[in-house]
Amino acid sequence: MRTIKGKTVLLTGASRGLGLLIARVLAQEGATIVGVARSSKGLEQFCSLLNGNAIAIPFDLSRVEELPILVQEVKHLAGSVDILINNAGIEKYRAFTEYSLADLQAVLSINLVAAMELTRLILPEMLRRDSGHIVNMASLAAKKGSPYNSIYSASKGGLLMWTDTVRQELVGTGVGISAICPGYVLHVGMSADTGVPISRLAGASQPWVVAKAVAKAIQHNQAERIINQDFITEGFTKLLFMIAQFSPRWVDAVYQLMGIGKLNQRRIQAQTKAAKFANPKNDCTKN
């Protein structure tokens, strides 16, 4: 079992949601966490939750060309990164034709390109030391597309396939890479924040379960972990993905039965309302 104690963890998306819980679980295991996000208020909360065993760096990950500056700052403040967790992510619910180019670029750059580029910048040193671990926070949407959330699904599918490839390139080194694929998460995070109920048939997990799964993936160098509610729902989910290899349309019908597309359509309205509230002058905002 690989130890987390005494390690330096670079965690993106540390200001709220799952990031805060992942930070707490890893800090409890004895790691020092360097948290990255944009919101200074969220990062203050992150620091106070970890009782000083944390360093916060405000940074906008969509500025991917500036990631070398972030990596330099991390090195300056905390030394070498032992564990990188690419957790930051955004989603925008829309019918595909309603997306703007800016939407596509925002989702893909934060969810996929920033994770790849951070890894590209940090992995060489891990390889030189022959030790380290990378965790990529994917989603069940990486396994089967989520209607009205197609760009997010594409970004997570890309993240999962890229992780799968890099894992094969890392065989024989002391560096591991894991993908975590949670389904809906209760109480905190992006699904809960929309205020739209989660499809009961689809399953939903406690956020602590997801955070602990991240620690376990590092400790046991797990390749991929699907998380959905409990052992039975997880088994059913894996079975569905297996059937989708033979008959994608049959699983489309199951998703329809679960009401996933309908609920996502309600999330379009919820997100548009939230964006109008955040930016009342811009009534036709696409953010």
At which residue do the structure tokens 């379960």 appear?
209
Residue choice 53, 62, 233, 287 for contact with ligand NAP (CB under 6 A): 62
Site string for ligand NAP, 253-282 (x = CB under 6 A): ------------------------------
Among 29, 60, 103, 252, binds ligand NAP (CB under 6 A): 60
Choosing from 10, 89, 118, 160, the residue that interacts with ligand NAP (CB under 6 A) is 89
Q: How far is the CB of 172 from ligand NAP (least distance, A)?
A: 29
Could you tell me where the beta strands, DSSP code E, fall in 59-114?
Answer: 83-86
Which runs of consecutive H residues, i.e. helices, occur in 79-206? 101-108, 114-129, 150-169, 190-193
Looking at residue 79, the DSSP 8-state letter turns out to be -
Burial-class residue 172 by CB neighbours within 10 Å (0-12, 13-18, 19+).
exposed
* Residues 168-187 close enough to bind ligand NAP by CB under 6 A: 182, 184-185
Q: Nearer to ligand NAP by C-beta: 206 or 221?
A: 206
Q: Could you give the residue numbers annotated as active site?
A: 152
Q: Is-contact 37 14, C-beta < 8 A?
A: yes
Residue 46, interface with ligand NAP (CB under 6 A)?
Answer: no
Shortest spacing between CB 165 and ligand NAP, in angstroms: 19
For ligand NAP, the closer CB: 142 or 170: 142
- Interacting positions 121-140 with ligand NAP (CB under 6 A): 137, 139
Q: Rounded distance, CA 141 to CA 152, Å?
A: 8
Residue 226 binds to ligand NAP (criterion: CB under 6 A): no
- Under the binding rule (CB under 6 A), the answer on residue 142 touching ligand NAP is no
How far apart, in Å, do the first and last CA atoms of the chain sit?
Answer: 43
Q: Which two tokens stand for residue 165?
A: 């490839």
Query: Which one among 8, 15, 178, 199 touches ligand NAP, defined by CB under 6 A?
Result: 15
Is residue 58 helix, strand or coil?
strand
Q: What is the DSSP letter of 170?
A: T
Cα 177 to Cα 122: distance, rounded to the nearest angstrom:
13
Assess 107 for contact with ligand NAP (CB under 6 A): no
Only segment of 2-10, 48-56, 85-93, 232-240 that touches ligand NAP (CB under 6 A):
85-93
Report the distance separating Cα 77 and Cα 57, nearest Å. Answer: 10
Instruction: Kindly list the residues in this chain that would bind ligand NAP in the complex (CB under 6 A).
Output: 12-19, 37-39, 42, 60-62, 87-90, 110, 137, 139, 182, 184-185, 189-191
